[in-house]
Amino acid sequence: MRRWTIPLMVMFVMISLLTGILHSAPELDSSEANVQELLKRIKQLEKRVAQLEKPPLRMVLPQAPSQAPPMLLQLPRKKVTVVPRQSAIPHGWKRKQINGIEYYIVLLDAKKK
């Protein structure tokens, strides 16, 4: 016999034993209880999806008080003065908003309406 026949036979025996062990691995559990549990979970998830797809309820928030809080007015090289805010927008001013900050467009000449 040649030198490589014995190691080759040992490797062949080892491979056949390993394949036999792999074929005898336990199969996945597909019992009826597992199927019923999955069906129950599907029903719960469908209920949750239906609940999330409903339009949200509208909430009525209380309106802000009629008087706006005073604001600080600081002019260059002068003292800080408190100026009460007006709750109503003067006539001719246009209220706009950009990035959540309100600003007003004010006409400079009242004759050009």
**Distance from C-alpha of 98 to C-alpha of 24, rounded to nearest angstrom:** 70
Among 95, 94, 74, 73, smallest CA distance to 84 is for: 73
Does residue 36 lie within any of the structural domains? no
Q: Are 69 and 86 in contact (CB under 8 A)?
A: no
Residue 1 in any domain: the answer is: no
The CA R_g of the chain, rounded to the nearest whole Å, is 40
**Is 78 a domain residue?**
yes
Decide if 75 is inside a domain: yes
The residue range of the domain holding 86 is 71-105
Residues paired with 75 in a beta bridge: none
Over the stretch 61-100, which tens digit does the pLDDT of each residue have?
A: 666 555 566 666 666 777 666 666 665 677 778 888 888 7
Q: Is the pLDDT of residue 111 over 80?
A: no
- Does some domain include residue 45? no
Residue 82 lies inside a defined structural domain of this protein: yes
Residue 58 lies in a domain: no
